[in-house]
Structure 1
């Protein structure tokens, strides 16, 4: 597989502190890992602009909308996209329920039951990434793995504990 184009990638990702509340150390760790994984491996390019990266992305929630603020690595703002969270609400609800089932299951359930729950979780995660990809059409080009990692951040912002 060829190396990703350095002009079409993220080199920094931040979450809006006003959009997220304090969380347990486990949730904070999951957020940090999601950001690390996203920055380490991604394909990301704003469309319809003469913008070349690499890029920095600031992700937050604004009036029940997902705000994706894209800047050049130097800090120069390029564009901010606002996406309705409505298409994600059912997936997020189901995702959080299945994650809670997983946390409960790992205490007492058989390995095959835990694996089945985790397969369902991964399926919902893929569904969320697909919805995100569709919502980004014409705005941002990204590969499936990048969309999955971005969906993880949407989950992190939406988690109410």
Structure 2
């Protein structure tokens, strides 16, 4: 097994106790998890290698990353404050609402303009997530993007 394949997620679970979201949001969740499992780079620093299972949850305005090995042993739990994400997530929600409305009735150029804004805010959130996990978990930008989508889904549900 190459070192790259050892440092990856093989499973991602979102806390189901906070409820379900709209069909659009649930679709985003399913796509993000599928894409994340297909291709990711996830290295809890100081651990000899996975693959890993990640359980994401929210508790008291904190984001919980509970990492386990495939065999179920605890690897690490990281707790992040949601404060640095609040404005980004709020802006992302607003632009996503506009996007979902636009794909039903707007022109292709209007949809593209909204989607460019949506991607920009998403990139900002992804970079913030990478920064907050710095020194704890090493991940690439595409992995951070997919994880940020899941953070947003948790927020939407909560």
TM-score by length of 2: 0.93
The whole-number CA distance in structure 2 between the counterparts of 1:10 and 1:160 is 23
Aligned partner of 1:90 in structure 2 is 87
Number of aligned pairs?
157
- Is 1:75 the equivalent of 2:72? yes
The whole-number CA distance in structure 2 between the counterparts of 1:13 and 1:134 is 21
Question: Could you tell me how far 1:103 is from its partner in structure 2?
Answer: 1.6
The answer (yes or no) to whether the contact 2:62–2:82 under 8 Å persists in 1 is: yes
Aligned partner of 2:7 in structure 1 is 8
Aligned partner of 2:146 in structure 1 is 149
The whole-number CA distance in structure 2 between the counterparts of 1:160 and 1:66 is 13
Question: Could you tell me how far 1:29 is from its partner in structure 2?
Answer: 2.5
Tell me: CA distance 1:50–1:109, structure 2 relative to 1, closer, same or farther (3 Å). Answer: closer
Question: Could you tell me how far 1:137 is from its partner in structure 2?
Answer: 0.5
Secondary structure of 2:55's aligned partner: strand
**1:130 aligned residue (127, 131, 137):** 127
**2:33 aligned residue (11, 22, 35):** 35
The answer (yes or no) to whether the contact 1:51–1:78 under 8 Å persists in 2 is: no
Aligned partner of 1:44 in structure 2 is 42
Higher helix fraction: Structure 1 or Structure 2? 2
Question: Could you tell me how far 1:105 is from its partner in structure 2?
Answer: 1.8
CA RMSD of aligned residues (A): 1.6
TM-score by length of 1: 0.92
The whole-number CA distance in structure 2 between the counterparts of 1:55 and 1:160 is 25
Uncovered stretches (5+) of structure 1, i.e. residues with no partner: none
Secondary structure of 2:29's aligned partner: helix
Uncovered stretches (5+) of structure 2, i.e. residues with no partner: none
